[in-house]
Amino acid sequence: MVEGSEDNSQPPPCTQCQCKISKSSPFESSHSSTPLSEIGASSRRGSLSTFPQKVSRIAMLGHRALRIHVTTVNAFPSTLTKNEIVWACLVDAVGDVEALKKHVEELKLDHDAKEQVITYVWGACAQLRGELVSKACHKTSSSYNIPGNMSPSVLLETIQWILKNDTFLYDKLNLENKTFDWKMPFCNQLFKNLFITQWFGARDEALRFPDKFRKVPDSILALIATVIECSLNTWLHSVHTQVKFTDTQFKSHYSHFMKKLDGLNKSCPTWLKQFKRDLYLKAW
């Protein structure tokens, strides 16, 4: 336990260290003869209710696959590569199921239908991030005891301190004394809480795809850090205000946390590997 960042210096990292989406489909093959062209042209955005059954099946699989991609690979994929990323998720999701592979090939030849499916699947990015930031906003106040009995001026000072140098990442955070354990980044209890409730909860994606989650990719920790930071920002004016979790504002924050984790991978690989292992095992 050391003093928090009163002198604006960055706490040194971890000096205590010694230093695929499933190829099978849960859906049965479809023998529907509904032409892809029957997808409603009026709904450019696309929704499952407007798709023929065989298209809705691959759209659902692709949507789920992109949620896993956003979680374990890149939380803010570029819109410039939207088509390529979505199509790769669709192909990966249908796996070796011949009937579904055939439907994907048919979809590939129908420009309008393909565009609508891509738009629908792409919505998984905002959906996943939105779910997580919503959970963070609901849990941040109790996790950090904010605002508690703080006066507006004390609350503002506290929020500024907890955001400075990413202090909120650390374990044993004491707001009153402004101390934290600088040897334990990404170890604040809220990280474990959000990890479990988001990916081991109702959707149970970590249970369905354990190989994707077992090593806890850096992208998961960086995304959790980003949504917590966003939720803390809602108190920056001493009263609770809405902060939009947009790509424009928070993609750079996510990149910042990814770089921080990259630094930990280089300086404290043993510690970080063990921390991730413990985080995953304790989620079960």
pLDDT in tens, 34-52: 343 343 433 445 577 788 8
Q: Strand pairing partners for 174?
A: 179
- Give the pLDDT band of residue 240 (cuts 50, 70, 90): confident
Mean pLDDT of the chain: 85
Q: What is the average per-residue pLDDT within 259-273? A: 97
Q: What is the pLDDT of residues 186-210, one digit of tens each?
A: 999 999 999 999 999 888 999 999 9
pLDDT of residue 244: 87
Tokens for 283, please give them: 């989620």
Give the separation between CA 161 and CA 63, rounded to whole angstroms: 39
Tokens for 215, please give them: 């090593």
pLDDT of residue 66: 98
More confident: 218 or 4: 218
| Range scoring the smallest mean pLDDT among 33-37, 119-123, 240-244, 274-278 | 33-37
* Neighbouring C-beta atoms of residue 236, cutoff 10 Å: 15
- The answer on pLDDT for 18 being more than 70 is no
Q: Strand pairing partners for 6?
A: none
- Give the pLDDT band of residue 261 (cuts 50, 70, 90): very high
Give the separation between CA 147 and CA 151, rounded to whole angstroms: 8
pLDDT of residue 49: 78
pTM score:
0.83
> Residue 171: helix, strand or coil by DSSP?
strand
